[in-house]
Amino acid sequence: MRSEMSVQSLAAPGFFSDLQAFWAVVRREWTIFVRYPSWIIALFIWPVIFPMGYILTARALSGVNGTGLATFKQTTGLNEYVGYIAVGTMVWMWQNIVLWSVGGSLRNEQMRGTLESNWLSPTWRFSYLLGSSVPQFISMLMLMAIATLEYIFLFNVKFEGSLWLSLLVVLVAIPSVYGLGFAFASLVITMKESNAFVFLVRGIVMVFCGITYPIAMLPDWMQSVSKWLPQTYIIHGMRTAALTNEGISGIAFDLQMLMVFGIIWLIIGYLLFNRMERRARKTGAIGQY
């Protein structure tokens, strides 16, 4: 082993260094993601398999010749019940994956033993959460694109709306979906267990946000709860943008609500993260499995 000469730190702190660190987290997360072959199942198979049960149930309930679809159209204004379910389940899958992957990202690092070695560096701590969200979002966009193609070619679904408006809803929904993920990640690192929380949150989304049925079907008190959940607006906005020709005016209210929820959830996520970070320094929670 050769020797070297002097001890002169090579670190050059600054905004660009933090940006470079953030990008390194993104690259690391993406590299590890593609090295587990299960991502192929997640991208190609799950988006079709998961809604299948709901679609077949709907087909059975609509009657042999689809006579029951008139009632569905009366409530939703749509004929395309497969597309209706596909959009709802896709949003549910997005939130579900964010809860597992972004919400569990710090906990996974903790169990792997790498959280402390990240925490020992002078990088802005929030970069780890932000950085782990980017590859997750990219894979989610891929999942949505692949799922859309699969529905068009396998189920003959007609997405009559606008691709760009659908993308706009997705973009505006990012702060709400990921803000919840950040808050979740901070709670999980303190509670050391994520399963029960994930089941609770996704159960609430499933029941209250109308992933397979219109909110109008719910009792009044449940509809009141739905109004406080951003996923309700994501699902409504996505359905309107992808399945109808209502244009921007049809999703304007959803977009406004998502912006408000986005700000609130990002603030909650950031505050909870900072609180967890301070608490962990006092209790030693970062190094505990």
Contact call for residue 23 and another protein (CB under 8 A)? yes
**CB of 134: closest distance to another protein in angstroms?**
15
Using CB under 8 A as the binding rule, whether residue 120 contacts another protein is answered as yes
Nearer to another protein, 33 or 155 (CB): 33
Told to check if 287 binds another protein by CB under 8 A, we report: yes
119 near another protein, rule: CB under 8 A = yes
9 binds another protein (CB under 8 A): yes
Torsion of CA 123, 280, 264, 104, to 10 degrees: 80
Phi-psi domain of 77 (left: phi exceeds 0; alpha: psi -120 through 50; beta: other): left
35 binds another protein (CB under 8 A): yes
Residue 256 touches another protein, criterion: CB under 8 A: no
Cα angle 73-79-83, degrees, rounded to a multiple of 5: 120
Rounded to 10°, the helix 105-112/126-155 angle is 120
226: part of which helix (H) or strand (E)?
helix 220-226
Q: 233 near 257, Cβ under 8 Å?
A: yes
Nearest CB to another protein, comparing residues 256 and 283:
283
Q: Which of 66, 113, 203, 247 binds another protein (CB under 8 A)?
A: 113
How many residues at the interface with another protein, by CB under 8 A?
43
275 forms part of the interface with another protein (CB under 8 A): no
Nearer to another protein, 46 or 124 (CB): 124
Residue 271: how many other CB atoms lie within 10 Å: 13
Burial class of residue 83, CB neighbours in 10 A (0-12, 13-18, 19+): buried
Instruction: Work out the number of other CB atoms within 10 angstroms of the CB of residue 171.
Output: 12
Task: Determine if 277 is a binding residue for another protein (CB under 8 A).
Answer: no
Among residue numbers 121 through 180, which ones bind another protein (CB under 8 A)? 121-123
Residue 238 dihedral angles phi and psi, to the nearest 5° = -65, -45
Catalog residues that contact another protein under the rule CB under 8 A.
Answer: 1-14, 17-18, 20-21, 23-24, 27-28, 31-32, 35-36, 112-114, 116-123, 281-284, 286-287
